[in-house]
Amino acid sequence: TDQARVVWAGVATAVGASVAAGLAIHRLGVAFEGRGEEIFEGATMLLAAVVLTWMIFWMQRQGRQIQTELEQDVRRATAAGGRGALFALAFIAVVREGIETALFLTAAAFTATPVQTLLGGALGLTTAVGLGWLTFAAGRRLNMGVFFRVTGLLLLLFAAGLVAQGVHEFQEAALLPTFVEHVWDVNPILDEGSGVGTLLKALFGYNGDPSLLEVLAYGAYFAVVGAASLRLGRARALAVGKEVRA
């Protein structure tokens, strides 16, 4: 239909803008060397962790009603401004997630090979499209509560890994103290430089011989953000329950 073409045009434009943003971030990183490169990588990782944290809380606040809210937004956009409003709605929705993905992939690329980064990005995009289709196809039969809890846990692990890696980069740049250089060393069992180790490092921040500050940063982030996310999710569930009973 005509509306579908407008929406897909907005999606395509947003994808192009997201790719351009990713390339710009990458080119900016290439311009740094030595200590400046370490600081840039650490800052990018921490910024990506902030973005993922926002996504975790957003999903807890609105995730369960996302399908209903999307339908309402489309109806309002159609009634308000026709094609232009629909294009803007599709563009904003996709470009926001696209730039977040570009930032996350850029941060992950610092610890992965180009092939692993491309494969990870393709797998993530395919999974997102598949889950999006499943959400709309299954409708109310899909347990959105379980879906968003699992997704939230994965994002929490991703973000905690980025925080720890950001701390590591800042330690390499002498911006943060080391205290204890290696709390443990399990590289003889699972080397972080191996294929599996590199993939785990890119996704979850795996480090075979982390410093004390890296371990503390990972644990503190996971505990604080995880607890806050659980409280927010429970409060949202109680509010929805009251609305249903009313």
Percent of residues, the chain, with pLDDT higher than 70: 73
What are the residues whose beta carbons fall under 8 Å from the beta carbon of 198, sequence distance 6 or more?
111, 112, 113, 116, 192
pLDDT in tens, 64-82: 566 566 666 666 766 666 6
**pLDDT at position 243, please?**
62
pLDDT in tens, 35-50: 998 999 999 999 999 9
Whether 139 has a pLDDT exceeding 70, the answer reads: no
**What is the spatial distance between Cα 118 and Cα 134, in angstroms, rounded to a whole number?**
24
Higher pLDDT, 161 or 58: 161
Whether 242 has a pLDDT exceeding 90, the answer reads: no
pLDDT in tens, 168-217: 999 999 999 989 999 999 999 999 888 888 888 888 889 999 999 999 99
- Domains of the chain by residue range: 2-245
Percent of residues, the chain, with pLDDT higher than 90: 29
**pLDDT at position 109, please?**
75
Whether 159 has a pLDDT exceeding 70, the answer reads: yes
Whether 134 has a pLDDT exceeding 60, the answer reads: no
pLDDT-derived band of residue 99, with 50, 70 and 90 as boundaries?
confident
